[in-house]
Chain A
Amino acid sequence: MTTTTNSPGAGDTTSGPRAPRLGVADSRSRSIELLGSLTMREIRGQYKRTTLGRLWSFINPLATIGIFTAVFSTIMKITPPVGTNSGIHAFALFLGAALLPWNFINNAVMGGMNALVGNAGLLQKVYFPRWIPVIATVLSLAVTLCFELLVLVLIVAIVGGPSVLLYLPGLIPLILLTTVFVSGIALTLSVLLVYFRDTQHFMALLMQVWFYLTPIVYPISLVAEQEQRLADGGHSVPLETLWKLNPAFRITDAFREVLYDFSWPSWGNLLGIALWAAASLLMGVLVFRTFSGRVVEEL
Chain B
Amino acid sequence: MSVLDLMGSRRPASGHTAVEVENVSKSFRVYAERNQSLKAAVLRRKRGSFEEFWALRDVSLQIPEGRTFGLMGHNGSGKSTLLKCIARILEPNSGSIRTRGSVAAMLELGSGFHPDLTGRENIYLNGSILGMSRKEIDRKLDEIIDFAGVGEFIDQPVKNYSSGMYVRLGFSVSIHVDPDILLVDEILAVGDMQFQERCREKFAQFKDDGKTVVVVSHGVEEMRTFCDEAAWLDHGKLVEVGPAAAIVDRYIEAGHNARAVETGGTRHGSGEILVERVELLDAAGTDERTFRTGDELTIRLHYRAEKPVDRPVFAVSVNSIEGVHVWSHHTWDAEYIPAQLRGSGSVDVRIPALRLQPGTFDLNTSVVDDELSHSFDQWVKAVRFAVVPGSPRESGGLVVMGSTWGNLQPPSPLAISGASAQAAEAREDADLASRASGTP
Q: Which residues of A contact B (CB under 8 A)?
A: 1-2, 4-10, 12-13, 16, 18-19, 21-22, 29-30, 33-34, 36-38, 40-41, 44-45, 48-49, 121-128, 195-199, 202, 293-294, 296-298
Contacts and interface: CB of A to CB of B under 8 A. Distances in A.
A265 B250 CA distance: 74
Interface string B30-49: 00000011110100000100
Contact of A19 (B9, B47, B100): B100
A122 B38 contact: no
Contact of A6 (B9, B108, B242): B242
Interface in B81-107: 87-91, 98-103, 105, 107
B116 A49 contact: yes
B139 interface: no
A198 B36 CA distance: 7
A98 B186 CA distance: 53
B102 A12 contact: no
B281 interface: no
A10 B98 CA distance: 15
A53 to B, nearest CB: 12
Given A4-B242, A16-B15, A10 B62 contact: yes
Nearest to A293: B91
B226 interface: no
B3 interface: no
Contacts of A19: 100-101
Contact of B28 (A10, A41, A197, A297): A297
Specify which of B64, B87, B128 lies most central, judged by the most chain A CB atoms within 10 Å of its CB. B128
Q: Sorted from nearest, which 7 A-B pairs have the closest CB atoms?
A: A48-B116, A9-B64, A37-B128, A125-B111, A13-B17, A127-B88, A197-B36
A125 B62 contact: no
B252 interface: no
Interface stretch (B129-137, B262-270, B312-320): B129-137
B89 A125 contact: yes
Contact of B121 (A44, A121, A297): A44
Contacts of B12: 2
25 contacts: A1-B420, A5-B242, A6-B241, A9-B15, A9-B17, A9-B64, A9-B65, A12-B17, A12-B64, A13-B62, A21-B100, A30-B133, A33-B133, A41-B114, A122-B112, A122-B129, A124-B89, A125-B107, A127-B88, A196-B36, A196-B37, A202-B38, A294-B91, A297-B90, A298-B29
Given A45-B116, A122-B111, A7 B47 contact: no
Interface string B229-255: 100000000001111011000000000
A9 B419 CA distance: 22
A45 B114 contact: yes
A34 to B, nearest CB: 5
Given A197-B37, A198-B37, A1 B419 contact: yes
Given A197-B37, A202-B38, A8 B241 contact: yes
Nearest to B101: A19
Contacts of A41: 114, 117, 125
Given A13-B20, A126-B129, A296-B89, 11 more contacts: A1-B419, A7-B241, A8-B241, A8-B242, A13-B62, A41-B114, A125-B89, A127-B87, A195-B47, A198-B37, A298-B29
Nearest to A1: B243
Contacts of A10: 62
Contacts of A36: 128
Contacts of A128: 129, 131
A195 B17 contact: no
A126 B117 contact: no
A16 B419 contact: no
Given A33-B128, A126-B105, A2 B243 contact: yes
B16 A16 contact: yes
A127 B121 contact: no
B16 A30 contact: no
B124 interface: yes
Contacts of B241: 6-8
B259 interface: no
Interface in B335-367: none
Nearest to A123: B89
B13 interface: yes
B2 to A, nearest CB: 14
B62 to A, nearest CB: 5
B67 interface: yes
Contacts of B228: 2
B10 interface: yes
Contacts of B88: 127
B436 interface: no
A68 B190 CA distance: 55
B105 to A, nearest CB: 6
A124 B185 CA distance: 13
A12 B133 CA distance: 32
B236 to A, nearest CB: 15
Nearest to A198: B37
A285 to B, nearest CB: 18
Nearest to A49: B116
B433 interface: no
B309 interface: no
B100 A4 contact: no
A90 to B, nearest CB: 38
B61 interface: yes
Contacts of B20: 13
B89 A127 contact: yes
Contacts of B240: 6
A22 B102 contact: yes
A23 B252 CA distance: 42
A41 B116 CA distance: 10
Contact of A126 (B64, B91, B112): B112
A215 B87 CA distance: 48
Nearest to A121: B111
A34 B128 CA distance: 5
A240 to B, nearest CB: 33
Nearest to A194: B36
Given A30-B131, A195-B36, A16 B105 contact: no
B48 to A, nearest CB: 11
Contact of B107 (A12, A22, A126, A293): A126
B77 to A, nearest CB: 17
A2 B11 CA distance: 9
Residue from the set A4, A8, A124 with the largest chain B CB neighbour count within 10 Å: A8
Interface in B122-164: 124-125, 128-131, 133-134, 157
A204 to B, nearest CB: 14
A196 B34 CA distance: 10
